[in-house]
Amino acid sequence: MLYVNPEYRGKGISSILYDSILSEGVILVSGKMQNAAARRLWIRLVKDSRYTVWAQDLMNLNRCALVSIEEDELDCPLKLYKDLKMRRRKQTEDIRMIVIAS
């Protein structure tokens, strides 16, 4: 999990860290929930031709699909975080985004 102290937020530090980590061949997996800043970071990763981003259901690894950008928002056939209703129910899927250097 990446955490940037409040006084350093908005200065591109997360992007620099992610780019550095990905250039080393590390696979990054998104968290279960995202705030607006994290979503912007993942949008940037999807737009960057150096990376391949897909979504995968961690409860059923056969369910996966590429993530793209539609009208400057994340787009995917699988339900990403912003599409899920936050109410108590039995969890039947756990969709995460995964990024690797292409």
Contact (CB, 8 A) for 53 and 46: yes
Q: For the segment 28-68, what is each residue's pLDDT rounded down to a tens digit?
A: 999 888 878 888 999 999 999 999 999 999 999 999 999 99
Q: pTM of the full predicted structure?
A: 0.84
Which helix (DSSP H) or strand (DSSP E) does residue 47 occupy? helix 36-47
Strand-by-strand arrangement of the 51-57 sheet: 28-29, 95-101, 51-57, 64-66
